[in-house]
Amino acid sequence: MISAPFDYHRPSSLAEALSLLARHGDDARVLAGGHSLVPAMKLRLAEPRVLVDLSRVAELRGISEKDGRIVIGAMTTHAELASSSFLAAKCPLLTETAPQIGDIQVRNKGTIGGSLAHADPAADWPPVALALDAEMEVAGPSGSRMIAAAGFFTDIMQTALRPGEVLRAIRVRPTGPSVAYVKTEQKASGFALCGVAVVVDRAANRVSVAITGIAATPFRASQVERALEGGPLTAERIGEAARVAAAGAQLLSDMHGSADYRAHLAQVNVRRAIVRASART
């Protein structure tokens, strides 16, 4: 199908992009990699009158370190994250997750910020952001602000971004090697039926666990985390903790998998991810 007519803008700076969004209001949509928005437009599920393409905004790309945090521009591609030796040393959960996203075409064009802002319930980056306690740096008509990942995903395909705002960067803390991302994917699309991100903080004797694909929004598996507090990560303790992986979640059920199946996947993948992460020292 062919999309409805629209005006197209390709700003070269963030200030210009924000000005365009302010001028066109609800008629405008931001275009990042386009893998979600463009198909929706072709199916007439989305009919923006104005597209603001961020691909030429250089200040939204790149990977750096500032004030003890790793700063990732929102328009940095999955492929750039996957191939970063800096991230492999400083935050290996990112370089482990990125190659599992889509296929090579998707990874070369799709962006981490586009994925997070789209907030697909089966996307791979949201649980990673949650497990890393990421902060979202947002730019808008009233200036910049920070949103904690824990408060960023508000509903299915909805975030805490306000009208006219753009996700500028993602800030995450460096970690050691004790991390893992394990997912069961829907084979045709590569999206997660259940994906689990784990960070083991050995200094704090703490495990962070986040899950995607089984509910309308990604979430921290807080009951799993509490079950593992203050003790060794033995196979028995990990297995017991994994039993409550889906506790309290409003589970999705669709043609790709029932709620019971997703609950089972959550238990299996949480156990596998924690075992894998804890084995990496």
Say if residues 252 and 280 touch (Cβ distance below 8 Å). Answer: no
Say if residues 101 and 107 touch (Cβ distance below 8 Å). Answer: yes
pLDDT along the chain (281 residues), means of 10: 92 97 95 90 92 96 96 98 98 98 93 97 97 98 96 97 97 97 92 97 92 98 95 95 96 95 98 97 82
Helix, strand, or coil (residue 43): coil
Rounded CA gap, 160 and 194, in Å?
23
CATH of domain 179-279: 3.30.390.50
CATH of domain 7-53: 3.30.43.10
Strands 192-201 and 179-185: antiparallel
- Residue 85's nearest CA partner among 111, 113, 63, 101 is 63
CATH 3.30.465.10 fits 59-172, yes or no: yes
Sheet of strand 206-212: strand arrangement: 179-185, 192-201, 206-212, 219-220
pLDDT at res. 265:
98
Q: Which ranges in the chain are annotated with CATH 3.30.43.10?
A: 7-53
